[in-house]
């Protein structure tokens, strides 16, 4: 998909200043905020920018997914709050699945407190950290996604389809104000869809950095998930869901 000269100018501004508000872009380019929002919607659909409730950030088109290390250091306080809330869903003897997200890995200390939990994950780093905590751990096989420790592909699809976990904890890159959960990476998104299909219960973990954002690949909606866990209240959300 092509972009207009004005949209290219927006990307050029974001190269100089990696985060800008809609208002600051409007003032810099001498055009209305509504026009800026339309341009940002198109740029976001192509994975060229990342929108938040506070503005927009630049994203490299050839590498839209943040590294796991980068994600692990973003909003740590919020992710710890989420993990503590979500830990109420854990019980001895469960079969638990964690997706490849950094957010779900914050549950490991709480999983380690329970007896006889069996853990499945497609994130090699999460698996290693779980093993270090003495958790009975299985790493779902596959190939690396974008050079990360997260595994996906046909092998992972087959393995996930054969499993029946008691609960799956997952996150994603984006969730919009209407409750649609989406991601920039097709492989991870498809694997999560299989995880959701075969688990008995599901819990979506989402920190406020992802509020009111969207990506190209839709996964599900908040009201189709059994439990939803945020770090803060999201008053603008237009969909009802089962919040912890």
Give the rounded distance of the alpha carbon of 12 from its chain centre.
27
Phi, psi angle pair for 18, to nearest 5° = -65, -15
Task: Provide the domain count of the chain.
Answer: 2
* Alpha helices (H) in 136-203, listed in sequence order: 154-161, 186-198
Asked if residue 132 and residue 105 are part of one domain, the reply reads: yes
pLDDT the model gives residue 107: 98
Asked if residue 113 and residue 39 are part of one domain, the reply reads: no
Q: Is residue 242 part of a domain?
A: no
pLDDT the model gives residue 180: 95
Cα torsion 136, 142, 61, 211: sign: negative
SS3 244: coil
CA angle 100, 103, 105 (to 5 degrees): 65
pLDDT the model gives residue 44: 82
Asked if residue 223 and residue 105 are part of one domain, the reply reads: yes
Asked if residue 53 and residue 73 are part of one domain, the reply reads: no
Give the residue among 44, 24, 58, 78 at the shortest CA–CA distance from 229: 78
pTM of the entire predicted model: 0.73
Q: Is residue 244 part of a domain?
A: no
Asked if residue 123 and residue 46 are part of one domain, the reply reads: no
SS3 111: helix
Q: Is residue 236 part of a domain?
A: no
Asked if residue 207 and residue 149 are part of one domain, the reply reads: yes
- Give the CB-side neighbour count of residue 1, counting CA atoms within 13 A: 12
**Are 108 and 238 spatial neighbours (Cβ–Cβ below 8 Å)?**
no
User: For each of the chain's 244 residues, which pLDDT tens digit applies?
Assistant: 567 888 888 888 887 766 688 888 989 999 998 998 888 888 888 778 877 656 777 665 334 445 555 555 567 898 999 999 999 999 999 999 999 998 999 999 999 999 999 999 999 999 999 999 999 999 999 888 777 889 998 999 999 999 999 999 999 988 999 999 998 777 888 999 999 999 999 999 999 989 988 877 889 999 999 999 999 999 999 999 999 9
* CATH at residue 42: 1.10.10.10
Asked if residue 99 and residue 52 are part of one domain, the reply reads: no
DSSP state for residue 63 in the 8-state scheme = -
Q: Is residue 163 part of a domain?
A: yes
Look up the domain containing 196 and give its range.
68-230
Asked if residue 123 and residue 173 are part of one domain, the reply reads: yes
Asked if residue 50 and residue 24 are part of one domain, the reply reads: yes
Asked if residue 199 and residue 91 are part of one domain, the reply reads: yes
Helix (H) or strand (E) holding 205: strand 201-206
User: Strand 167-170 relative to strand 136-139: parallel, antiparallel, unpaired?
Assistant: unpaired
Q: Is residue 241 part of a domain?
A: no
Give the residue among 192, 175, 174 at the shortest CA–CA distance from 64: 174
């Amino acid at each position: 998909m092509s972009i207009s000269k004005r949209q290219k100018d927006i990307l050029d501004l974001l190269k100089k200043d990696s985060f800008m508000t809609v208002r600051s872009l409007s003032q810099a380019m001498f055009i209305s905020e509504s026009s800026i929002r339309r341009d940002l919607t198109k740029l976001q659909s192509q994975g060229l920018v990342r929108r938040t409730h506070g503005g927009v950030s630049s994203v490299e088109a050839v590498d839209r997914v943040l590294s796991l290390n980068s994600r692990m250091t973003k909003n740590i306080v919020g992710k710890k709050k989420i993990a503590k809330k979500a830990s109420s869903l854990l019980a001895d003897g469960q079969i638990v699945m964690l997706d490849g997200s950094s957010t779900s890995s914050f549950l490991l200390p709480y999983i380690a407190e329970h007896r006889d939990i069996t853990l499945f994950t497609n994130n090699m780093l999460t698996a290693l950290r779980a093993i270090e905590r003495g958790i009975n751990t299985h790493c779902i096989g596959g190939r690396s996604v974008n050079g990360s420790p997260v595994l996906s592909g046909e092998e992972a699809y087959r393995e996930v389809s054969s499993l029946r976990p008691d609960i799956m904890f997952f996150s994603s890159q984006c969730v919009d104000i209407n409750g649609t959960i989406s991601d920039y990476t097709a492989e991870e998104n498809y694997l999560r869809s299989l995880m959701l299909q075969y688990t008995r219960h599901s819990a979506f973990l989402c920190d406020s950095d992802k509020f009111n954002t969207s990506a190209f690949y839709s996964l599900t909606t908040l009201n189709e998930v059994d439990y939803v866990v945020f770090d803060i209240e999201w008053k603008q959300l237009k969909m009802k869901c089962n919040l912890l």
